[in-house]
Amino acid sequence: MNKSFLLLILLMITFWGCNSDDDEFDQADPPKKLEVISGNNQIGFPGHQLTDTIKIRIVPNKIEDLNKYWHEVDGSISRLSSQLKIVDNEIHINLVWTLRNYFDGDPNLKIYLFGCERQQKWWLCEPLETIVINAKFKGYWDLVFENPDKNIHRPGDFYDIHFSDDKNGIVVGDYHTSYLKTKNGGDSWEFDNVIDRNLYQLHFTDPLNGIAIGTNNYAYFTSDGGQSFQFRDWNPPIIGHLGSADYFMLSTDNILSVGKEGKLTKSIDSGKSWITYEELPIKSWFYSLVSPDGINCYACGELGRIVKSTDSGNTWVQQNVETNYNLKEIWFWDKENGFAGGDQGCLVKTKNGGKDWKLIKTGITSSIIGIYFANKNTGYLVSDKGEIARSVDGGLNWRFIWSENQDIFNVYKLNKVYFKMPYLFGVEESNVYRCFLGDD
């Protein structure tokens, strides 16, 4: 072996030994005080920046240790902005945290505080403290019920969902699915034999009084939020199985229904008889119906059609909407401000009672089946593929909470969604899903 190389090795060993003296390793004392001032336990959306800056305050035991402190970060991070400052003999760390898109459980951020100068043997430096910052995800679908009987080849589909109060809710469907109930706000669900019928729609005039629509458009009435149902004298407003795409109950007596062949119908005797408005030359389907005040009513349907009534559904006029997309859902905050959404994420908005409708870009790729505003600024859109978008400016701009390419929770074709803030519920096949949206 080359003598020069041996000499070099001996010199390196000597140097290492001389510098391995503990007295040469200047380690700071643990801090006198360490506290998280703000930013812990936030609620955020996957792939988005958390609202609040994480602020950490460190008070050293000795002033001379100030310049020895440094930190490293690990965790569920897509992007992180970090700043360390010395203010009045204290160390302040500010962090802006962007969450990952993909995850396993709720995210956390680990901040390791070290107390040795970086130019020293930092690999020997152990963390003085470890701070854990927790967050909770909004906007992903959690399976809260699936049909437990795996021996049923086709267990049927759930079609609609309703909550009568914070705790009690029901889900209806066909075949073996039939009827589910919850008594704990949707945390868990169980079968019940309240009604042995195929049920496809639920419509309520208030939390307790409503109807369930079954085979061939016949109705069953409830006055206890769906805990029991009774058949009454009823004639289908539109002939044919599921001929009515939607109902709206102005009261237990006054009921509107829309559906196939452009039918617009009204009953004033709890469904015993119906009057059809036939003055509009529309033969395409209407899909959704709403009345924000019991007087002004709106319906939307195929080929971008929207109609309005100003007399509780007695007469209707067609409105001018510049889209040919099928509109599947209509929602109004009040009689002036509303939205209609449908195929390929199409969304139109009015702020003058439907005199004008403006097309709004949403980014959603499939059919919008749910629209809801928690207040005049904060609103949500949901598609049948489980996409969720949120607006904070009254519906002018939308940003994804959850998009189609994130469907790792197997939400592929929702039949119905129900907003029960801070949660969103959805039914698909024989499954019930829940999504946490947060308190807005």
Rg (Cα) of the chain, in Å, rounded?
Answer: 30
Q: What pLDDT shows up at residue 4? A: 54
Q: In the predicted model, is pLDDT for residue 324 greater than 70? A: yes
Beta strand segments in 347-404, E: 347-350, 358-360, 368-373, 379-383, 388-391, 399-402
For range 103-116, the mean pLDDT: 82
What is the 8-class DSSP label of residue 326? Answer: P
For range 371-399, the mean pLDDT: 94
Other CB atoms within 10 Å distance of the CB of residue 133: 21
Q: What pLDDT shows up at residue 9? A: 44
Q: In the predicted model, is pLDDT for residue 318 greater than 80? A: yes
Percentage of the chain exceeding pLDDT 70: 86
Q: Which of 62-71, 200-209, 416-425 has the lowest mean pLDDT?
A: 62-71
Q: In the predicted model, is pLDDT for residue 3 greater than 80? A: no
Domains of the chain in sequence order:
5-17+28-134 (2.60.40), 141-436 (2.130.10.10)
Task: Quickly state the pLDDT bin for 232 (edges 50, 70, 90).
Answer: very high
Q: How far, in Å, CA of 431 to CA of 411, rounded? A: 9
User: What would the pLDDT profile of 235-247 be if each residue is shown by its tens digit?
Assistant: 999 999 999 999 9
Q: What pLDDT shows up at residue 30? A: 92
**Cβ-contact 367, 415 below 8 angstroms:** no
For range 76-90, the mean pLDDT: 89
Q: What pLDDT shows up at residue 79? A: 85
Q: In the predicted model, is pLDDT for residue 290 greater than 70? A: yes
Q: How far, in Å, CA of 440 to CA of 418, rounded? A: 16
User: What would the pLDDT profile of 412-440 be if each residue is shown by its tens digit?
Assistant: 789 999 999 999 999 998 899 999 887 66
Helix then strand count (H, E) for the chain reads 1, 36
Q: How far, in Å, CA of 35 to CA of 434, rounded? A: 35
Q: In the predicted model, is pLDDT for residue 407 greater than 50? A: no
For range 241-257, the mean pLDDT: 97
Q: What pLDDT shows up at residue 243? A: 94
Residues contacting 226, CB < 8 A, separation 6+? 162, 164, 170, 172, 181, 194, 202, 210, 212
Side-by-side strand order, sheet with 179-182: 158-163, 169-173, 179-182, 190-191
Q: In the predicted model, is pLDDT for residue 17 greater than 70? A: no
User: What would the pLDDT profile of 347-375 be if each residue is shown by its tens digit?
Assistant: 999 999 999 999 999 999 999 999 999 99
Look over the chain and give the mean of its residue pLDDT values, rounded to a whole number. Answer: 87
Other CB atoms within 10 Å distance of the CB of residue 129: 16
Task: Quickly state the pLDDT bin for 408 (edges 50, 70, 90).
Answer: very low
Q: What pLDDT shows up at residue 43? A: 76
Q: Which of 30-44, 73-87, 107-121, 221-235 has the lowest mean pLDDT?
A: 107-121
The structure tokens listed for 8 are: 């070099």
**Cβ-contact 158, 432 below 8 angstroms:** yes
Q: What pLDDT shows up at residue 16? A: 46
Q: What pLDDT shows up at residue 121? A: 60
